[in-house]
Amino acid sequence: MTAFSAPEVATGAVPIAFMAAGAWCFGWFHPARLPARKVGVVLCSPIGYEAICAHQTYTQLADALAEAGFAVVRFDYHGTGDSSGGDADPDRVRAWMDSITSAINELKRLGDVSHVALFGVRLGATLAAHAASQLGGIESLVMWAPCITGRSFARELRAASGNRPMSARPAAPGDIEALGYLYTAQTLQDLQALDCQCLDRPLAQRVLILGRDDMPGEGPLPAKYREIGMDTSYAVMRGYSGMMTEPHEAVPEPATLNLITDWLSAVHPLPDTLQEATSTAAPGPIDYLVDGIRETPQLFGLDRSLFGILSESAELKSSDSRLETAILMLNVGRNHHIGPNRMYVKTARSLAASGYRTFRFDLAGIGDSRPRAGLSSGGIYSKDSIADVQAAIDSLVAQGCKKFYLMGICSGSYVAFQTALVDPRVTGQILMNSRLLEWHDGKAGGTWQSSMQMYYKSSDFYRRALLRPDLYRRILRGEVDVNGIARRLRTVFKARLARAFNRFLHRTPAEEGVLDKVKNLSARGTDTVLIMSADDDGRDYVEFQFGRLGSRMQGNPNFRMVLVEESDHTFSDSESQRFVIDTVQEHLKKRVSKMG
């Protein structure tokens, strides 16, 4: 089958789709700037949660390499990101390897290069090394903090999985869920075969291994690779720990990206005879099929700097009225558009299978959308993002949509709420684990605004915890942040006391509160569904506004509050995700049929 590419964004990057492991994979092609080198680079992502953390680093590295004259492909392995498939599919390790091979072929086709270098972080570096060993002919290999063996990576996953409650663990024997992703028994077994030390022939002519700044130590790989004849360099640079923190805190390290770019530029100098960069990228939009769902990558906004993916049923006729309803999925912190734990991809395809259109996209400066001049500080609670959501609605209106539901977790719910307040086209909002629905610049000391900068649990969780004997043993061992929890509970108590005092004195608030704003939205015809993890600390904020279980909105037909038991802030276990998706499906079915 033919691979496709779409019109380029301002930097020259082009969304692409290509076949791997028998299905479509999604990626980006970054054409080389002039003058072009004769070598292209394929960026092999980490796996699971680490891929979310490293997304911004990979995007910036791809841009830097393209600026230096390298054609670059970054991509999602089969079963990850925006590509087809899922964690539960068989033969995951083989599919990841096949995806690298296909990405290399795409790079050669689109970039008109005959020589290839590979780059990877963590398990991405491990997979890149094995792909180089199997394929041969790789010019250079850059490995940043590689997992020396798949066995060690699987051991880390099991340790992370062991911290989850028994009720949140998958039912299939041998499977584990770790950091929001499922690893089947077969995947864990196949990881055992990966060993970067047991590759007995040169993987590439030259290798650069970058160590971790938080765990210095050269390890066995550099000596091993020199022993089998590879020109191997080793360095420790800043950036690993900053890259692998929470996505909303992750910061790429320019010095390390410059080192990687400079090393590749030195070992692959510009040709003596300079020539223009060429690309066989076909013009025009692309789409690809995933289990009967058509997915279309789209650039939108006045300067086409924003990016999203539209999902819709390929089996419905364009005249079907269900296609008039669109659900827009808004970034969670700085997680890019696939959502935490890839939840937005799963939700988008599930809703599209029911006949709705879904649009998962990145706000300006997040993921694959470029930052715009004139933005404020770039915080995740910014009203500047309203314009991006309205640009997405404008784009969907042009494609025939008439009803718009905004869906977001945490900061995404803030952007959804603020957009609904100013745009009457919003039909409904699906707010999940909201921690703040309003943000006042310059008022960081405000009761809720300062308190919600630290993550704890709900007051209800702590009340129940007091009945557990093990809590007191943990307190004595210093394992519980007693002072932090006390500060949070004081915040809740002070907020409730202040409100009661103002009511007693019949004081009118200086400005309209969240409750009144939601009531006004309801009167306008915009419905609200709140989905909260029972133990999430945002529950205190939400119930302060709307009453316990939404009691202050009781009887309002356009409001509903739902609790998800035994879940975390981003619904990282598969059972919670299924519950949330089913709840959204049920809500839309009732609301859309009522309006229809």
At 99-136, the pLDDT tens digits run 999 999 999 999 999 999 999 999 999 999 999 999 99
Backbone angles phi, psi at 182, to 5 degrees: -90, 135
Q: What is the pLDDT of residue 372?
A: 78
pLDDT band at 468 (very low <50, low <70, confident <90, very high): confident
Mean pLDDT across the stretch 412-428? 98
Least confident among 22-36, 45-59, 262-276 = 262-276
pLDDT on residue 248: 82
Radius of gyration of the chain, Cα coordinates, nearest whole angstrom: 25
Report which of 63, 128, 141 is spatially closest to residue 101, judged by C-alpha positions. Answer: 128
**Which pLDDT belongs to residue 380?**
82
SS3 of residue 141 by DSSP = strand
Q: How far is CA 317 from CA 209, 255, 293, 310, 592, in A?
A: 52, 52, 13, 16, 18
Binned at pLDDT 50, 70 and 90, residue 475 comes out as: confident
Q: Which range has highest mean pLDDT (86-95, 432-441, 452-461, 475-484)?
A: 86-95
Residue 189 lies in a domain: no
Q: For residue 509, name the pLDDT band (cuts at 50, 70, 90).
A: low
Q: Does 55 reside within a domain? A: yes
Tokens encoding 259:
């080192």
Same domain, yes or no, for 378 and 230?
A: no
pLDDT at res. 83: 98
| Range of lowest pLDDT (124-138, 329-343, 344-358, 508-522) | 508-522
* Residue 97 in domain: yes
- Whether the pLDDT of residue 455 is over 70: the answer is yes
In a domain, 461, yes or no: no
Q: Which of 238, 267, 296 is the last residue of a domain?
A: 267
- Strand pairing class (288-290; 231-236): unpaired
More confident residue, 386 or 217: 386
Q: How many CB atoms lie within 10 A of CB 94?
A: 12
Residues 32 and 101 placed together within one structural domain of the fold: yes
In a domain, 192, yes or no: no
Rounded Cα distance between 407 and 367, Å, is 17
Q: What confidence tier does 470 reach under pLDDT thresholds 50, 70, 90? A: confident
Residue 1 in any domain: the answer is no
Rounded to whole angstroms, how far apart are CA atoms 247 and 55? 9
Write phi, then psi, for 444 (nearest 5 degrees): -60, -20
Would the pLDDT of 409 be above 50?
yes
- Is the distance from CB of 369 to CB of 413 less than 8 angstroms? no
Q: Are 340 and 329 in contact (CB under 8 A)?
A: no
Give per-residue pLDDT as tens, 252-302: 999 999 999 999 999 999 887 655 545 544 434 589 999 999 999 999 998
Q: What is the pLDDT of residue 377?
A: 42
Q: Domain limits at 333?
A: 288-443+512-595
Which tens digits make up the pLDDT trace of 201-250?
Answer: 889 999 999 999 988 788 899 999 999 999 999 999 999 999 998 888 88
Q: Look-up: residue for tokens 């009453």? A: 547
Which pLDDT belongs to residue 13? 92
How much is the pLDDT for 437? 94
Same domain, 385 and 438: yes
CATH number of the CATH domain containing 361: 3.40.50.1820
In a domain, 272, yes or no: no
Q: Do 212 and 325 reside in the same domain of the chain?
A: no
**Residue among 17, 66, 9 nearest 40 (CA):** 66
Q: Tokens representing 349? A: 């395809």
12 has pLDDT over 90: no
Q: Are residues 210 and 349 in the same domain?
A: no
Q: Report the pLDDT averaged over residues 348-352.
A: 98
| Judgement on whether residues 212 and 343 belong to the same structural domain of the protein | no
> Contact 529/428 with Cβ under 8 angstroms?
yes
pLDDT of residue 469: 85
Residue 166 to residue 517: CA distance in whole angstroms: 40
Helix pair angle (150-161, 123-135), 10° resolution:
150
The answer to whether 193 touches 134, Cβ cutoff 8 Å, is no
* Gap between the Cα atoms of 418 and 585, Å rounded: 23
State whether 328 and 234 are in the same domain.
no
- Do residues 68 and 132 share a domain? yes
Judge if 260 and 370 occupy the same domain.
no
CA separation for the pair 455, 437 (Å, rounded): 16
Q: Residue 164 has what pLDDT?
A: 64
Distance separating alpha carbons of residues 309 and 351, to the nearest angstrom: 14
Average pLDDT, integer, range 403-418: 97
**Cα–Cα distance list, 587 to 314, 410, 437, 483, 536 (Å):** 23, 20, 21, 40, 22
Q: What is the mean pLDDT of the chain?
A: 89
pLDDT digits (tens, 9 = 90+) for 151-184: 999 999 999 997 666 455 566 889 999 999 999 9
The answer to whether position 70 is within a domain reads yes
Angle CA(338)–CA(343)–CA(346) in degrees, nearest 5?
90
User: How many whole angstroms separate alpha carbon 122 and alpha carbon 126?
Assistant: 7
**Phi–psi pair at 210, nearest 5 degrees:** -105, 125
DSSP string for residues in 224-278? HHHHTT-EEEEEE-TTHHHHTS-TTT----HHHHHHHHHHHHHHSPPPSS-----
- Using CA atoms, how far apart are residues 77 and 21, in angstroms rounded to an integer? 9
Q: What is the domain count for the chain?
A: 2
In a shared domain, residues 581 and 532: yes
Structure tokens at 340: 């935490």
Q: Which residue has the higher pLDDT, 319 or 34?
A: 34
CA distances from 260 to 11, 73, 141 (A): 20, 16, 11
Percent of the chain with pLDDT over 90: 71
Look up residue 314 and give its DSSP letter. S
What pLDDT does 505 receive? 74
- For residues 362 and 298, what is the distance between their CA atoms, to the nearest angstrom? 11
Provide the strand spans (E) within 363-452: 403-409, 426-432
Hey, how many other C-beta atoms are within 10 angstroms of the C-beta on 155? Answer: 14
Q: Give the dihedral sign, CA 495/501/506/508.
A: negative
141 & 228 share domain: yes
The residue behind tokens 């911290």 is 163
Average the pLDDT over 392-415 and give the result: 97
Q: What is the pTM of this model?
A: 0.92
In this structure, are 517 and 547 located in the same domain?
yes
The mean per-residue pLDDT over the stretch 30-54 comes to 95
Does the pLDDT of residue 200 top 90, yes or no? no
